[in-house]
Structure 1
Amino acid sequence: MVDPADKERLTQLEERIAAAKKLQEPGKDHQDEHYSQAQHAWRMVIELVAGLGIGFGIGYGLDALFGTKPIMLVLFILLGFAAGVKTMMRSAAEMQKTMTAEADKDERD
């Protein structure tokens, strides 16, 4: 037979476990948040590399067309880099705006 004091302690323990589980449910899982941050980081890296690649392609094509080997290549690589950085900064601002809106929403709730 179970002692009444032990039964009461067991009931209290079950209530505390249930309360702790409820606290964890509404929030995001830490791994999901980390995965989302990794996605944003890769997006920004890809935007920069795409800008450099497009600049390289345009510069190489114009150099081949006009016969001015390194000039257009260097110029358009630099322009592609600038465009990639600008796009990265725009993505970072968008991400910050989204995170700020989520934080404000969490504070209101």
Structure 2
Amino acid sequence: MSEDDPKQRLAELEARIAAAKGAPKDKPHQEEHYSQAQHAWRMVIELVSGLGIGFGIGYGLDVLFGTGPWMMVLFALLGFAAGVNVMIRTAQELQDKKLAAQAREGEGDEHG
């Protein structure tokens, strides 16, 4: 055996490993993790802002009409419901984007 044989085998092994790994993904795992965290924070902020806006409107109406906490409770509940509704729409939007991306990947695999 010559000295070049181990080097050549090592180069072939590295080439096979690189081919097995395939093309690198568009986003690293850590970047995907941050993206998911951003979506989660977006949904939390939507819920809290709906609740806060409803609370503020209700409190303002209670002060204006002197009705006690009734308007505040009513509008806080309505704000909570609106926040949940916006969260559901956001989740649906994210799911639609993910399904569209998967469909594009599947389409690319069929042609490739």
CA shift at 1:28, angstroms? 2.5
Partner secondary structure for residue 91 of structure 2: helix
Task: State the Cα deviation string for residues 37-80 of structure 1 (Å, max 9, x = none).
Answer: 11111100000000000001000000001111110000000000
Corresponding position of 1:41 = 40
Corresponding position of 2:11 = 11
- Runs of 4+ residues deviating >6 angstroms: none
Q: Return 5+ residue gaps in structure 1 as ranges.
A: none
8-17 vs 87-96, greater mean Cα deviation: 8-17
CA shift at 1:20, angstroms? 4.8
Alpha-carbon RMSD:
1.6
Among all aligned residue pairs of Structure 1 and Structure 2, give the percentage whose two residues are the same amino acid: 63
CA shift at 1:34, angstroms? 1.2
Q: Return 5+ residue gaps in structure 2 as ranges.
A: none
Corresponding position of 1:83 = 82
Partner secondary structure for residue 25 of structure 1: coil
Give me the whole-angstrom Cα distance separating, in 1, the residues matched to 2:95 and 2:33. Answer: 15
- Provide the TM-score with structure 1 as the length reference: 0.88
Task: State the Cα deviation string for residues 87-108 of structure 1 (Å, max 9, x = none).
Answer: 0000000000000000111111
| Alignment of structure 1 residues 1-109 onto 2, 5 Å | 3-20=3-20, 23-109=22-108
CA shift at 1:17, angstroms? 4.2
Q: What letter is aligned with 1:30?
A: H
Instruction: Give the length in aligned residue pairs.
Output: 107
